[in-house]
Amino acid sequence: MSNSKIISKSITFITGNPHKVKEARGILNNLGITLEHADIGYPEIQGDLEDVARYGAQYAVRRLGKPVIVEDAGLFIKALKWFPGTYSSYVQETLSNQGILKLMSDVEDRYAEFRSVVGYCTPKTEPEVFLGIVKGRIGYKEKGKYGFAYDPLFIPEDYCESFGELQTDVKNRFSHRRKSLEKFALWYKDQK
């Protein structure tokens, strides 16, 4: 993507996760979008990732009164009926990666997807949402020291290494978050 049309306005990224901020800045800065950061939180409603991102963006824009993005992501494992899905953060805190490995101990079909949805909203617009997906599989043990959360378990399609084994700059080239943020950035540039 060309940087010939640099967008100078900044957008506030609403998250309590410093890893996401670093990853998002690394992606969006290269696309000409400057991110501010605010950790104001937002209620996570019941629903799919799109519903959560849409609601979170609306909630945050009402609190801050300026353009915001939120990002909600999850690990979706086919053999577990797409669990943990929208409960990924909670499951990470309670079961951790070892709990997922235990649930998968006798499972042959290890197909999984990492999904990310960015929600964008301004005080004068309805929210827009952007989905990014990376297909892959769940490994048999945790591997790697990079990334966070489920990264050491998830092996992306066409790779032998887990996200946890890939350095951040490599992961950022094709991650689910990159895909959703890039879709957002392309759309955003077209609006300008």
DSSP3 helix / strand / coil % (the chain, rounded to 5):
40, 25, 35
Q: Which residues contact residue 176 at a Cβ distance below 8 angstroms, ignoring those fewer than 6 apart?
A: 73, 113, 114, 115, 116, 132, 133, 134
As a dihedral over the C-alpha atoms of residue 141, residue 149, residue 52, residue 132, rounded to 10 degrees, the angle is -70
Signed CA dihedral, 45, 48, 49, 51: sign only: negative
Tell me which of 39, 48, 51, 72 is the catalytic residue.
72
Does the annotation mark 72 as catalytic?
yes
CB burial class (10 A; 0-12, 13-18, 19+) of residue 79? middle
Residues marked active site are found at 72
